[in-house]
Amino acid sequence: MKRITLGHGAGGTLTSDLVRQVFLHHFMNPYLEALSDSAVLPPGDGDSATSLAVTTDAFVVTPIFFPGGDIGELAVFGTVNDLAVAGARPAYLTASFIIEEGFAYADLDRVAASMARAARRAGVQVVAGDTKVVERGSCDGLFIVTSGVGRLIPGVSLSSARVLPGDCLVINGAVGQHGAAIMCARQGEDFGTSIRSDCSPLAGVLETLLVELGEGIKWLRDPTRGGLATTVVELAESAGQCVVLEEEAVPIPDDVCGACEMLGLDPLYLANEGKVLIVAAPEATPRLLALLSEAGQDQAAVVGQVATSQGMMGSWGAGAYLRTRLGGTKTLDRLTGHQMPRIC
């Protein structure tokens, strides 16, 4: 019998197939079909002509408290960031809590306090919620589901259809920190690293960029589960372009590299929780980098380009590629399932 395995939830090829074969198959509609971070819904009949962005996300992280954040912060920023990369200003959240019998009352209070702080920082309110307690063993401590609503920033038109050869790929800072922090926390205290999650809200800085640069910004996505590499694959697929990531240009902290070597992981596939991949027109890119730097994101960097047909990548065709530090070129692909520690 075919069953769901953990690999179906890892954000790679298995997840993508599952979503298409089961959920898209049954729920098919034009809003869902885009499979983007948020659905953008048309304005209602009221006086406001603003489109709405809507998104939802479930948070099941282990451990619940980790260096640089906790499940509550993640539940707010994760959803807020999905709205922000759709070009929306986040406004309201709902939050549902699934709590395992026996969970410490004080820990729940700590998570809620952290969510409230995060919501204030992101400029949103939690306006509805639900609480369920399940028998011991039916969930792992605490699961949180948040949904978010935001208003589209006027004049924004983000679409992979606008991505053209010559456009630049910009990341707003170092990658791999959240995924590495979680993996290290799972190894226990004696693993001895100090990597902290990059968990933080993107809405403020993205609104500045969208207002300042307008159509110069073509496409945005937060490289969470599946990491930067998977996001570049998604970009290449939805834009139908040849997209080249430059390994040398991707900022990866030394401690993240070191932990990845120890654990047999590839930092390009590790989750981020405060990063955004921006596709910008080449003429908008210098100003984009300056604005990011002004916002304190001083590790922001151009990490790749949409290749032109004249360049050396001309003959490779549409798809995602990595130019390695040595100057070799390789295919970038989704992971099949989870990254697996290797044997030797």
Partner 1 sequence: MNKDFRDPELAGGLVKAIRRDINDLGRPVRLMEVCGTHTVAISRSGIRNLLDGVVELRSGPGCPVCVTSQEDIDHMISLAYLPNTTVLTYGDMLRVPGATGTLEEARAAGGDVRVLYSALDGVRAAGAEPSRQFVFLAVGFETTAPGTALAVKEAARRGLDNFTLHPAHKTIPAALRALLAPARSQASTGSGGPPAIEGFILPGHVSAVIGRKAYDFLAADFGLPGVITGFEPVDILLAVRELVRSVMARAGGKRVVNLYPRVVREDGNARAQALTREVLEPCPSAWRGLGTIPDSGLTLREEWRAFNAVKRFAGAGGLQSSLHPALGGSRSRAAGISACRCGDVLRGLIAAPECPLFGRGCTPISPVGPCMVSSEGSCAAHYAHERRRHAR
> Should residue 246 be labelled a site residue for partner 1 when binding is judged by CB under 8 A?
no
Kindly state the DSSP code that residue 84 receives in the 8-state scheme.
Answer: H
Q: Is 3 helix (H, G, I), strand (E, B) or coil?
A: coil
> Should residue 45 be labelled a site residue for partner 1 when binding is judged by CB under 8 A?
no
Termini Cα distance of the chain: 32
Out of 11, 13, 67, 312, which residue is the one contacting partner 1 (CB under 8 A)? 13
Contact partners, residue 338, CB within 8 Å, separation at least 6 = 6, 7, 10
- DSSP per-residue codes, 284-324: GHHHHHHHHHHTT-TT-EEEEEEPPTTSTTGGG-SEEEEE-
- DSSP per-residue codes, 136-188: TTSSSSEEEEEEEEEEEPTT----GGG--TTPEEEESS--SHHHHHHHHHHH-
> Should residue 3 be labelled a site residue for partner 1 when binding is judged by CB under 8 A?
yes
In angstroms, what is the minimal distance from the CB of 40 to partner 1?
A: 31
Q: Is 94 helix (H, G, I), strand (E, B) or coil?
A: strand
Of 225, 267, 219, nearest to 13 by C-alpha is: 225
Q: Single out the segment in contact with partner 1 by CB under 8 A; choices: 9-17, 128-136, 148-156, 202-210.
A: 9-17
Q: How far apart are CA 167 and CA 91, in angstroms?
A: 31
Kindly state the DSSP code that residue 342 receives in the 8-state scheme.
Answer: P
In angstroms, what is the minimal distance from the CB of 18 to partner 1?
A: 11
Out of 5, 21, 62, 159, which residue is the one contacting partner 1 (CB under 8 A)? 5
> Should residue 194 be labelled a site residue for partner 1 when binding is judged by CB under 8 A?
no
Out of 10, 11, 17, 148, which residue is the one contacting partner 1 (CB under 8 A)? 17
Amino acid at 7: G
Residues numbered 305 to 344 that lie near partner 1 (CB under 8 A) are 315-317, 319, 321, 323-331, 333, 336-344
For partner 1, the closer of residues 282 and 337 by Cβ is: 337
In angstroms, what is the minimal distance from the CB of 14 to partner 1?
A: 7
Of 302, 303, 297, nearest to 320 by C-alpha is: 303
ω into 267 cis (within 30 of 0): no
Q: Single out the segment in contact with partner 1 by CB under 8 A; choices: 66-74, 82-90, 161-169, 259-267.
A: 259-267
> Should residue 263 be labelled a site residue for partner 1 when binding is judged by CB under 8 A?
yes
- Cβ neighbourhood burial of 9 (10 Å; 0-12, 13-18, 19+): middle
For partner 1, the closer of residues 184 and 281 by Cβ is: 184
# residues contacting partner 1 (CB under 8 A): 41
Structure token pair of residue 69: 């954040």
For partner 1, the closer of residues 138 and 187 by Cβ is: 187
Q: Single out the segment in contact with partner 1 by CB under 8 A; choices: 117-125, 128-136, 257-265, 300-308.
A: 257-265
For partner 1, the closer of residues 196 and 338 by Cβ is: 338
Q: Single out the segment in contact with partner 1 by CB under 8 A; choices: 57-65, 139-147, 149-157, 252-260.
A: 252-260
> Should residue 138 be labelled a site residue for partner 1 when binding is judged by CB under 8 A?
no
Residues that bind partner 1 (CB under 8 A): 1, 3-7, 13-14, 17, 187, 248, 254, 257-258, 261, 263, 266, 315-317, 319, 321, 323-331, 333, 336-344
